[in-house]
């Protein structure tokens, strides 16, 4: 069902309705998600490697890890796939119900499908349970633990994992159920008897993965998962100010909507998108690649063209130093600690851990994207002599690395570090 992880990542769509929907939700969590497609490109993104031989070795190790039954990678992907496959049927049922409500000639559909709000609520509850189970598989936790997941969700969820939860709250919660979606889910939980849930398509597709001996036990676990994350969802909605209207308006920037009925839109997205599988594959690929890369190094293997050392070339930084790292997607600098250093072709690369983030975000960064922090003689704009900065070029539409060596009010004389450009004066709004 799941295929090889390499094939799955290589075949992820670059642009379809799922991708458009996820891009539309970027306003909720700006810069968190990039649609990484292609396994080798994903390796390069998270490791900074460009050498084909090194990429191949990481690729081979990741493929082996994925197939290893002692790891939870394959099981997590199968869960993401199962929930989305069943979700198509659920979305179709919800859409049929709404059509029956709106068009009297098709009103008989109301007698054939459950209420859309019940469908959406059950769908959301089961997706939360799947996220908890998949998280525990990926982190080697033998028994699914909603509390451990909730703690990580609040502190460490980023990238594809976070946008998946954003889509869950937006597409499966607020858009179809309204601002008080949590209350409606509570109402659904009260009516979730084993007899009613047993015939649910999504539940049937994943019930073997849900802990419990009986259907009642499994319903109890699903309720525990919701209880664990309800606080996060409530705080997230309050913090972001999400409403059905804001979600619909941003979707309209990417997807042409023929109907402004939010229930129709939500049911349509349920049936037409597979955001859980799409982002789930990306989450698994990231974790696999980082583990494979770290294993290759911890086993003492010498990767072609590189040396791992405790100090950088020319003594720029040392292991344990706190630095700032450039994020090209968010176009800003973020604090990180150097965990490891390697020298490749006489250029430094740093394996960093970002302050306030989980270990899954650790990555290798190039020397040009790392700089010292906490300049004591910085001006009112936070810039200082000898500080490394990024300079925006309007013509090339890209950032170049430079170093400040003169300051005159809000103008800065910079020397480019990686390009054969002349020194020049730049304005404050041209540098970061």
CA dihedral 14, 18, 21, 25 (to 10 degrees): -80
- pLDDT grade, residue 113 (50/70/90)? very low
Asked if residue 111 has pLDDT above 60, the reply is no
pLDDT tens, position by position, 362-371: 788 888 888 8
Average pLDDT for 25-47: 91
Provide the CA 123 distance to its chain's centre, in angstroms: 21
Give the range among 23-32, 83-92, 287-296 with minimum mean pLDDT.
83-92
Asked if residue 91 has pLDDT above 70, the reply is no
Q: Given 3-state DSSP classes, what are the helix, strand and coil percentages for the chain, each rounded to the nearest 5?
A: 55, 15, 30
Query: Residue 174 — φ and ψ, nearest 5°?
Result: -65, -45
Average pLDDT for 411-429: 87
- pLDDT grade, residue 164 (50/70/90)? very high
Contact 415, 426 (CB under 8 A): no
Average pLDDT for 148-169: 92
Average pLDDT for 124-144: 93
- Read off the DSSP letter of residue 310: S
| DSSP per residue, 53-93 | HHHHHHHHHHHHHHH-TTSSHHHHHHHHHHHHHHHHHHHHH
Cα separations in angstroms, 128 against 196, 266, 350, 381: 19, 18, 36, 44
pLDDT tens, position by position, 47-77: 888 888 889 999 999 999 999 988 999 999 9
Asked if residue 416 has pLDDT above 80, the reply is yes
For residue 417, the tally of other CB atoms under 10 A from its CB is 14
- pLDDT grade, residue 202 (50/70/90)? confident
Calculate Rg over the CA atoms of the chain: 24
Average pLDDT for 137-146: 92
Contact 402, 413 (CB under 8 A): no
pLDDT of res. 364: 81
Give the range among 56-65, 78-87, 90-99 with minimum mean pLDDT.
90-99
- pLDDT grade, residue 261 (50/70/90)? low
Asked if residue 255 has pLDDT above 90, the reply is no
Alpha-carbon distance of 336 to 362, in angstroms, equals 9
Which residue's structure tokens are 């054939």?
112
Nearest to 265 by CA among 163, 179, 172: 172
Q: Percent of the chain, pLDDT > 90? A: 38
- Read off the DSSP letter of residue 367: G
356: which residues sit within 8 A by CB, 6+ positions away? none
pLDDT of res. 346: 73
pLDDT of res. 310: 42
pLDDT of res. 157: 87
pLDDT tens, position by position, 297-343: 776 544 544 444 444 444 578 888 888 998 887 788 998 988 888 77
Provide the residue count of the chain: 432
Asked if residue 97 has pLDDT above 60, the reply is no
Asked if residue 360 has pLDDT above 70, the reply is no
Asked if residue 264 has pLDDT above 90, the reply is no
Asked if residue 149 has pLDDT above 80, the reply is yes
Q: Percent of the chain, pLDDT > 70? A: 82
Greater confidence, 202 or 108? 202
For residue 52, the tally of other CB atoms under 10 A from its CB is 11
Asked if residue 242 has pLDDT above 50, the reply is yes
- Read off the DSSP letter of residue 382: S
Instruction: Determine which helix (DSSP H) or strand (DSSP E) holds 154, and give its type and residue range.
Output: helix 146-156
- pLDDT grade, residue 93 (50/70/90)? very low
pLDDT of res. 115: 46
Alpha-carbon distance of 320 to 373, in angstroms, equals 14
- Burial zone of 242 (CB within 10 Å; 0-12 exposed, 13-18 middle, 19+ buried): buried
Which residue's structure tokens are 């937006």?
170
């Amino acid at each position: 069902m799941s295929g090889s992880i390499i094939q799955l990542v290589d075949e992820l769509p670059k642009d379809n309705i799922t991708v458009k929907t996820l891009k539309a939700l970027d306003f909720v969590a700006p810069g968190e998600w990039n649609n990484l497609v292609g396994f080798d490109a994903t390796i390069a993104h998270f490791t900074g490697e460009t050498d084909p031989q090194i990429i191949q070795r990481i690729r081979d190790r990741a493929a082996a890890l994925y197939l290893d039954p002692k790891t939870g990678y394959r099981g997590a992907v199968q869960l993401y796939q199962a929930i989305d496959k069943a979700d198509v049927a659920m979305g179709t049922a919800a859409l049929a119900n709404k059509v029956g409500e709106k068009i009297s000639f098709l009103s008989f559909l109301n007698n054939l499908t459950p209420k859309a709000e019940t469908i959406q609520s059950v769908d959301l509850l089961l997706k939360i349970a799947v996220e908890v189970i998949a998280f525990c598989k990926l982190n080697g936790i033998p028994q699914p633990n909603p509390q451990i997941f909730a703690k990580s969700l609040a502190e460490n969820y980023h990238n594809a994992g976070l946008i998946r939860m954003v889509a869950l709250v937006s597409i499966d919660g607020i858009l179809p159920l309204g601002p008080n979606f949590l209350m409606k889910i509570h109402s659904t939980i009260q009516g979730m008897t084993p007899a009613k849930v047993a015939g649910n398509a999504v539940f049937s597709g994943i019930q073997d993965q849900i802990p419990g001996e009986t259907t009642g036990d499994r319903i109890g676990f699903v309720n525990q998962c919701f209880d664990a994350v309800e606080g996060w969802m409530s705080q997230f909605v309050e913090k972001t100010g999400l409403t059905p209207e804001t979600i619909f308006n941003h979707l309209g920037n990417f997807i042409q909507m023929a109907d402004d009925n939010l229930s129709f839109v939500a049911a349509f997205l349920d049936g037409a998108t597979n955001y859980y599988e799409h982002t789930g594959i990306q989450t698994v690929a990231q974790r696999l690649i980082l583990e494979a890369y770290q294993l290759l190094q911890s086993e003492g293997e010498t990767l072609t063209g590189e040396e791992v050392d405790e100090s950088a070339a020319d003594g720029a930084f040392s292991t344990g130093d706190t630095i700032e790292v450039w994020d090209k997607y968010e176009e800003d600098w973020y604090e990180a600690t150097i965990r490891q250093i390697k020298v490749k072709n006489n250029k430094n690369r740093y394996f960093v851990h970002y302050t306030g983030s989980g270990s899954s975000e650790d990555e290798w960064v190039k020397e040009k994207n790392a700089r010292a922090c906490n300049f004591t003689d910085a001006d009112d704009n936070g810039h200082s002599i000898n500080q490394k900065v990024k300079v925006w070029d309007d013509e090339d539409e890209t950032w170049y690395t430079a170093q400040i060596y003169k300051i005159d009010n809000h103008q800065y004389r910079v020397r480019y570090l990686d390009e054969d450009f002349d020194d020049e004066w730049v304005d404050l709004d041209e540098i970061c």
